[in-house]
Amino acid sequence: MTQKWSYLQSIDEITVGRYFEYDLDALNLFRKWLKFMTVPEIKVLEIGSGSGFFTNILLTLFPEIELTCLEPDEVFVEKLKERFGKKINIIVDEVETMRIKKNTFDVVISHIVIHNLTEPVVALEQMKRVVKINGRVVVIEPLPASRNYYPSEEVTDAFDFLNKARIHKCIQRAKSMTIEASVNPWKNCYPRFYKEVDLTNINNYGWTSVFTLSDGRYDYHEKKKWLKMRTQLMENSKRANSKNPLRSRRKEREYRSRV
């Protein structure tokens, strides 16, 4: 069944939450790491484009690519059409079951998607299937999920400890909301996923911070605008929940039962 992310988070919430995500240094790193996408008319498939946050980054950094967006959520699909028009192609489908022909794209890329899936290996198998021979699969994910790449044993142990604490907290919260917590999405790691789908020549890059409100390069009035928008959204959510204190829990339970 299609996982409706818009059911959990509105487009406005996503926009505000990522308002200052990725500064100029981070964008320059993307340009460097993804330099193979500077080839004119290279065919790129973006997995789970959502409301178009990373889609916009791809089109800005690599304006000559031929970009196709895979997105199962109709709410986000309409936003993508409104925002980008003919600059993109759109396929309404899920990554785990997408019906795209094999060997179609030069690059398949996902941004903050795989860790949200219950079957990440299936998703990666599909991404590998639709990419051309000698093409590239690019996965951009939260840093803790890549902890096994760290050369330092101390850093690895620290992340393992933090993840155990996080898992315990999530399970306890799920139990308190009568949500089944039999599946732990953090039990595996990306190197293991790549090995299972037989991806080769793997390169790993990363940084520990991509979001900062204290960066002096940001204009004061822009920061103030962002804080005002975020505060307003929080107030709106608070008022909605105060009218129905069970709204959030019921909404999450309904979502879980659908997916």
The band of 1, judged by pLDDT with boundaries at 50, 70 and 90, is very low
Q: Mind listing the pLDDT tens digit for each residue in 128-140?
A: 999 999 999 999 9
pLDDT at 178 over 70: no
Mean pLDDT confidence for 219-248? 75
The answer to whether the Cα torsion of 48, 51, 56, 59 is positive or negative is positive
pLDDT of residue 253: 53
Taking alpha carbons only, the member of 111, 104, 108 closest to residue 127 is 108
Tokens 């986000």 appear where?
76
List the beta strands (DSSP E) in 112-247: 131-140
Select the more confidently predicted residue: 144 or 30: 30
Enter the CATH code of domain 5-141+188-218: 3.40.50.150
Vertex 151 angle, CA 147 and 156, to 5°: 40
The number of C-alpha atoms within 13 Å of 9 and in the hemisphere containing its C-beta is 10
Q: Mind listing the pLDDT tens digit for each residue in 76-100?
A: 999 999 999 999 999 999 999 999 9
Which strands sit side by side in the sheet containing 66-70, from one edge to the other?
88-91, 66-70, 43-47, 105-111, 131-140
Q: What is the model's pTM?
A: 0.74
CA distances to 148, 161, 205 from 156, rounded to whole Å, are 6, 9, 16
Mean pLDDT confidence for 193-204? 88
Range among 4-8, 49-53, 112-116 rated most confident = 49-53
Mean pLDDT confidence for 104-132? 93
In the chain, domain spans: 5-141+188-218, 220-259
Select the more confidently predicted residue: 164 or 177: 164
Percentage of the residues of the chain whose pLDDT score is greater than 70: 76
